Structure 1
Amino acid sequence: MKKAAPPTSEPPELEALWESWLAELGWQPSEPQRQQLQQLYPLVMAGNRTQNLTRITAPIDFWEKHLWDSLRGLRLLGSWAAIQARPWRGIDIGTGAGFPGIPAQIALPQASFTLLDSSQRKIAFVQEALQQLSLTQARAVAQRAEIWGQDPQERGSYDLALARALAAAEVCAEYCLPLLKVGGRAILYRGHWIEAEAQTLERALSLLGGKLIHVEAFTTPRSHGIRHCLLVEKVAPTPAYYPRPPGIPKRQPLGQGKRC
């Protein structure tokens, strides 16, 4: 991948949306952070020519559905001043093209994120993107979440886990909770959310040592799409047999029947 060219002038509509971040997110990027976020678009579009990274290719849609949406979930952690001051050890499970992990790493420079995905090709892209953006505190790893969650060096070592557009909430919980410290938080990014899903998730969390703390509904600023973010806290150690072997969490989701 060639080094991305510096961002050029943006359409007025996009410029206005950047200015709205303070009201919409409670935060605005510094000039270096904004440049890094802007560089993500040409990097992802270049990678899209050789592999299926995203179907979102219009600049304005990319801004809203990848950048803004990725960062909106972080608001569940508290004030931006407090979030940015903390040296989070975070993990983005099923990162794909690097979302929400790369925007989160840009916004939280004191943090160190692991961007995890089972696809070697996608992780090769993410590794190159991290290098291009000089995000040296982040790393990209090609591995299944079920295997990573049983690695004794990784299990129970993270403060924060993110899972976006990955699987059902109870499946995401089984991927995230084993990796968190007790007291750690997971943010699960969802579209629509109903009470039946919450009941299933809470049953799964009771097996995993987690608790659903908050569900926040919001709409995207331009397309007005409905989104939900779920904040989960790990309140007790996760039993050693979770996560179950690869493929089982999706085939036999927790909380939907008898204990597995």
Structure 2
Amino acid sequence: MKSKSVEMLLKGAKEFGINIEMFHVEQFNKYYELLVEWNKKMNLTAIIEEEEVVIKHFLDSLSTYKCGKMKGNEQIIDVGTGAGFPALPLKIVFPFLKITLLDSSKKRTMFLHHIVEELNLQEVNVIHGRAEDIGKDSAYREKFDVCVARAVASLNVLLEYTLPFVKVDGYFVALKGREIEEEMVNSQRALKELKGSVEEIIKIDIPYSNIVHHLIVVKKIDTSPIKYPRRPNAIQKSPL
């Protein structure tokens, strides 16, 4: 990456309380190069310009650290991870995190396997599957300390796909946009049904941009009913 992009990454991460070493910079640089290379063959991201990737993918992902629930050795699942965001940037700077990347696209999971191998990341599990199926698998259901998602689905829908993965007393952290008031109102039934409670909402200003995001931190207070998550058509027809 160019020196300006490196400076943006270092200073931007520091705003989130993260110190990035040059070894990490090398990994981010390789991540960027592979993202651009593979993006020529498949649709991984519409954002490929270097500084934009630093801001909208790398720093945006690292902002998740502000939730305060990642101390270094938690089991974390990233649902609908796409090209690895937000979990892989977190893994690069916090190597002791135990990461599971879940995505429904076979092509994207091929890219993720390649990235993990090329960056020599340990304790990263890549799963090709749908959240509604994997969330009912006893190997993954309620096995994670933290679930993260940067998906574009509304919060009430995201909660149904994600909270079944979270242990009781664990957390789901949703990366949402500037306007969240309506989503919060519309998510009250889902929170009650799935046994979640909003612990905190953290406003995030992404460095070097006018982007404002919110981290919605949801604590799992009891076991989610086994009927959730439902099939996608049921969720679309009758969202919680």
**Fold match by TM threshold 0.5:** yes
Correspondence 1:19-58 to 2 at 5 A: 19-21=10-12, 23-58=14-49
Q: Between Structure 1 and Structure 2, how many residues are aligned?
A: 240
Q: Distance in 2 between matches of 1:31 and 1:137?
A: 22
Q: CA deviation at 1:142?
A: 0.6
Instruction: Verify: 1:161 aligned to 2:153, yes or no.
Output: no
CA contact (8 A) 1:116 1:142 kept: yes
Question: What letter corresponds to residue 48 of structure 1 in structure 2?
Answer: N
Residues 84 and 110 of structure 1 are in contact (CA less than 8 Å); yes or no, is this contact kept in structure 2? Answer: no
1:172 aligned to 158, 161, 180, which one? Answer: 158
Conserved 8 A contact 1:147-1:246: no
How far, CA to CA, are the matches of 2:23 and 2:196 in structure 1? 37
What's the counterpart of residue 216 of structure 2? 230
Q: How does 1:43-122 map to 2 (within 5 A)?
A: 43-77=34-68, 83-85=70-72, 87-122=73-108
Q: Distance in 2 between matches of 1:22 and 1:227?
A: 15
Distance 2:127 2:233 in 1: 19
Note the C-alpha offset of 1:22: 5.3
Match of 2:117 in 1: 131
Which position in structure 2 is the counterpart of 1:201?
187
**Greater RCO structure (CA 8 Å; 6+ sep):** 2
Sequence identity of aligned pairs in percent? 32
Q: CA RMSD in A?
A: 1.5
* 8 A contact 1:84–1:107 mirrored in 2: no
CA shift, 1:89, in A, is 0.7
> Relative to 1, partners in 2 of residues 1:97 and 1:136: Cα closer, same or farther, differing over 3 Å?
same
Stretches of structure 1 lacking an aligned partner (at least 5 in a row): 1-7, 255-260
- Compute the TM-score of the two structures, normalised by the length of structure 2: 0.94
* Letter of the structure 2 residue corresponding to residue 128 of structure 1: H
Structure 2 distance, partners of 1:54, 1:229, is 22
Distance 1:103 1:251 in 2: 35
Q: Equivalent of 1:241, from 204, 207, 227? A: 227
1:191 positional shift: 1.1
Preserved CA contact (<8 Å) 1:84 1:109: no
Structure 2 CA distance for aligned equivalents of residues 22 and 152 of structure 1: 36
| CA deviation string 1:211-256 (max 9, x = no partner) | 01111122221121121111111011101101112443344321xx
1:72-125: per-residue Cα shift (whole Å, max 9, x none)? 0121125xxxx344x211100001111112112112211111100000011011
Distance, in Å, in 2 between the alignment partners of 1:110 and 1:123 is 22
Q: How far apart, in 2, do the equivalents of 1:166 and 1:239 lie?
A: 24
Q: For the residues of structure 2 that align with 1:143 and 1:106, how far apart are their CA atoms?
A: 24
Deviation at 1:158, TM superposition (A): 0.5
Runs of 4+ in structure 1 over 3 Å off: none
Letter in 2 for 1:239: P
CA distance in 2, matches of 1:250, 1:125: 29
Q: Where does the alignment leave 5 or more consecutive residues of structure 2 unmatched?
A: none
CA contact (8 A) 2:100 2:126 kept: yes
When residues 250 and 41 of structure 1 are mapped into structure 2, their CA distance, relative to the original with a 3 A threshold, is farther
